[in-house]
Chains A and B, each alone.
Chain A
Amino acid sequence: MAGCFQMLQLACADYRHEKLLSLCSVLGLAAVLTPLLILYGVKFGVVETMTERMKNDPRMLEVSPVASGRFEAGALQALAKEKGVAFVLPRTRSISATMKLATIPKASERRKSCIVSLEPTAAGDPLLARFGCDVPALHLEKRDPAEAKPQGGLGVNLASLQLSGAVLTQEAAEKLGCAKGDMLVGSFERAFEGKISTARVKIRVTGILPLAAQQKDGAYIPLALLEASEDFRDGRGVPALGEENGWSGEPVPEGERVYPGFRLYAASLDDVPALRERFAKRNVATYTHAEEIAQIKALERGLNVIFSLVCAAAGLGFFFSTASSVFAGIKRKERTLGLLQLAGFSTGAIMLFPLVQVVLTALFGTGLASLVYLAIAHVINSLFQGSLQGLEQVCRLLPVHYALALGAAAGLSLLAALGPAWRSTKIEPSEVIRDV
């Protein structure tokens, strides 16, 4: 409608003309909005940083059984397909899950060795993926036992050993003085029927886990090698790894293998408490970080409540101050509005006059508040730079937050201005156009 569009132009012209008063209302809105933006920015930044750190740490998603149980291979495979489970792998008995690693020294060097505890790993291991390590594999080759000849200073025939990859922890790697790609000898000891015997494999280091991932001396090896270690210590033989390498013994019995435990990672933080419940129902007690996760969530909820209360109070104050200033403005502009009515503008168009002006105030006020917020946020983030990593920010707002702030300011302003604007249509031109 032409009348409405022109009314828009008139309202803008009047807003521009009353520079000082318009500036006052813009500053008033910015003064209320800026602290709210900072408050919400800090809340969002802090909670986001904490949540992101948790999400990126696979150990937060770990669910481990407390005590030993009896888990069949088939059951664990079924578990892998359950909702909320990202990765699951059986564990063997911990007493048999150790290995002695030794370097293969060159001429004048001293041999270094270290005993590591073992964990199974397979493709899709979230821990290895997070820290950028390749998943190790067992490389079995057919060997001719007749070719067995002792070699190397150990009296060990290195050529006949089977090869497996392994990911070492930083502690273990430092003790052994080795790096990615190095070759080591892994040996397993048992005392069986009064005799002590040793079985060996070659180990190639496929990766090193930093301290952040795991602190003890450990190695992540393929499940098959771990099972071999368990079988060997039970007195069984593992022909695939070579009897000439020490892997002799009774044959492994038939039947499904039963494991005492498992390594499990949930798909997301929200799945952790659910999984814990599910296992509890199956009488499997688990260690999880559910409490830590719940704490962060409770913190976020609490902060949201506090912020909402502060926002409500500020909003209420802003509503009433806007209503009163619009009312005063209309009283002041009674003559103008009366003249416009006399000139033939409809009451609908007349109502637009104050409404357009509050929207202009909301626009400029939110813009100004955003600029001041950005400056202060920069200062806050600089202050806390030391304890932040990478792209983390203590004080942060997304574009959608700015849009919401503008929407709320405009909406609240329009609501506050509606009453006085309605009153403006009741102005009788004949009463206001003359100086009495």
Chain B
Amino acid sequence: MDKPVDLPVFDLLKVVKTRPGAERYRLEIPAFAVRRGEAIALVGPSGCGKSTALDLLSCALRPDQGERFVFAPAKDELRDVLACWENGGVNALAPVRMRYLGYVLQTGGLLPFLTARDNILLACKALGIVHERVEAVTEMARTLGIASLLGKYPAQLSVGERQRVAIARALAHRPTVVLADEPTAALDPAHSALVMELFLQIARSEGVAVVMVSHDQEMARATGFKLVSMQIRSTDEGVVATLRHQASAARLQDRIQEAS
């Protein structure tokens, strides 16, 4: 695999999202960058907005303000997310999302009226790449232990089986970015380890950027994820959460710039 001097997949600077409501909540991202092939686990106390952060990264949630928010899922694909939200709304980023993003929810990420197989192949069908991906998907289903369940409907599967199908769905169309919100919460330890290793493996061998929210810090660190903590503090205006992470190369670049 070639290693170009490439941009980070995510490059955020001073992005803010406020959630209105009874408890005023504010997520601040002073700096956040994820490189290709990097596997990050977001950890922090509950209610600190890890899911909000994930939604912002998936380009399905509009930030309130920001200085820079660049999404570069592939070599020739670069999106100024803030500008896209300004001009096209949610539709501007939809095609990019469909092609390059894999999203795993904690539970219930499957469409109830499709079989497991049709759920997994949803994005592949929309992109017209079913033919190419069939082999890889079959292999993945075998790895995840769901090969025999493909003809069943989600209602007929256990929570753990549904979760594994959801993971297969997120990876089926060969995304370059995987966002996972507590993907192993419903799985037993054996399957949890299996899934985390699967994520690491595709990160290393295929350069997929993985951002995972997990409460199982130990297993994440042991598998090889880089842990990123989110801080929260209470202020007069409500709860404020902070997310900060800079890819090592980017930090180096900053230092070089500071020096010169």
CB-CB under 8 A from A346, the residues of chain B are: 91, 94-95
The reply on A66 being an interface residue by CB < 8 A is: no
Contact of A430 (CB < 8 Å), options: B52, B109, B118: B52
The reply on B249 being an interface residue by CB < 8 A is: no
Q: Are A435 and B125 in contact (CB under 8 A)?
A: no
Chain B 89-102, CB within 8 Å of chain A: the 1/0 string? Answer: 11100111111010
> Interface residues of B toward A: which range?
20 to 34
Tell me whether A344 and B99 are in contact in the complex, defined as CB-CB below 8 angstroms, given that A433-B105, A434-B51 are known contacts: yes
CB-CB under 8 A from B197, the residues of chain A are: none
The reply on A383 being an interface residue by CB < 8 A is: no
How close is B210's CB to chain A, nearest CB, in angstroms?
A: 17
Chain A 423-436, CB within 8 Å of chain B: the 1/0 string? Answer: 00000111001110
Q: How far is the CA of A339 from the CA of B98 in the complex (A)?
A: 12
Which of chain B's residues 96-135 have a Cβ closer than 8 Å to chain A? Answer: 96-99, 101, 103, 105-109, 111-114, 118, 122-123, 125-128
Interface-facing stretch out of A9-17, A158-166, A307-315: A9-17
The reply on B58 being an interface residue by CB < 8 A is: yes
Q: Are B112 and A17 in contact (CB under 8 A)?
A: yes
The reply on B61 being an interface residue by CB < 8 A is: yes
Q: How far is the CA of A14 from the CA of B153 in the complex (A)?
A: 12
Name the residue of chain B whose CB is nearest to the CB of A13. B113
Which of chain A's residues 322-358 have a Cβ closer than 8 Å to chain B? Answer: 335-336, 339-348
How close is B89's CB to chain A, nearest CB, in angstroms?
A: 8
Name the residue of chain A whose CB is nearest to the CB of B55. A430
CB-CB under 8 A from B99, the residues of chain A are: 344
Name the residue of chain A whose CB is nearest to the CB of B126. A6
Chain A 13-56, CB within 8 Å of chain B: the 1/0 string? Answer: 11011100000000000000000000000000000000000000
Tell me whether A2 and B113 are in contact in the complex, defined as CB-CB below 8 angstroms, given that A342-B97, A343-B98 are known contacts: no
Tell me whether A345 and B60 are in contact in the complex, defined as CB-CB below 8 angstroms, given that A10-B111, A13-B114, A14-B113 are known contacts: no
CB-CB under 8 A from A430, the residues of chain B are: 51-52, 55, 60-61
Contact of B98 (CB < 8 Å), options: A17, A336, A344: A344
Q: How far is the CA of A242 from the CA of B7 in the complex (A)?
A: 123
The reply on A419 being an interface residue by CB < 8 A is: no
Q: How many pairs of A and B residues are in contact by the CB < 8 Å rule?
A: 75
Q: Are B108 and A16 in contact (CB under 8 A)?
A: no
How close is B170's CB to chain A, nearest CB, in angstroms?
A: 10
Q: How far is the CA of A3 from the CA of B126 in the complex (A)?
A: 6
Q: Are A2 and B128 in contact (CB under 8 A)?
A: yes
Q: Are A339 and B109 in contact (CB under 8 A)?
A: yes
CB-CB under 8 A from B98, the residues of chain A are: 343-345
Q: Are A344 and B113 in contact (CB under 8 A)?
A: no
How close is B20's CB to chain A, nearest CB, in angstroms?
A: 12
Tell me whether A347 and B60 are in contact in the complex, defined as CB-CB below 8 angstroms, given that A434-B51, A434-B106 are known contacts: no
A18, A343, A346, A434 — which one has the most chain B CB atoms within 10 A of its CB?
Answer: A343
Tell me whether A339 and B61 are in contact in the complex, defined as CB-CB below 8 angstroms, given that A344-B101, A347-B90, A434-B51 are known contacts: no
Q: Are B122 and A343 in contact (CB under 8 A)?
A: yes
Tell me whether A18 and B60 are in contact in the complex, defined as CB-CB below 8 angstroms, given that A341-B90, A342-B103 are known contacts: no
Q: Are A336 and B111 in contact (CB under 8 A)?
A: yes
How close is A2's CB to chain B, nearest CB, in angstroms?
A: 6
Sample of 21 A–B contacts (CB below 8 Å): A13-B113, A13-B114, A14-B113, A336-B113, A339-B111, A342-B58, A343-B97, A343-B98, A343-B103, A343-B122, A343-B123, A344-B97, A344-B98, A344-B101, A345-B126, A347-B90, A347-B91, A429-B61, A430-B55, A433-B109, A434-B181
- Chain B residues with a Cβ under 8 A of chain A: 51-52, 55, 58, 60-61, 89-91, 94-99, 101, 103, 105-109, 111-114, 118, 122-123, 125-128, 181
- Chain A residues with a Cβ under 8 A of chain B: 2-3, 6, 10, 13-14, 16-18, 335-336, 339-348, 428-430, 433-435
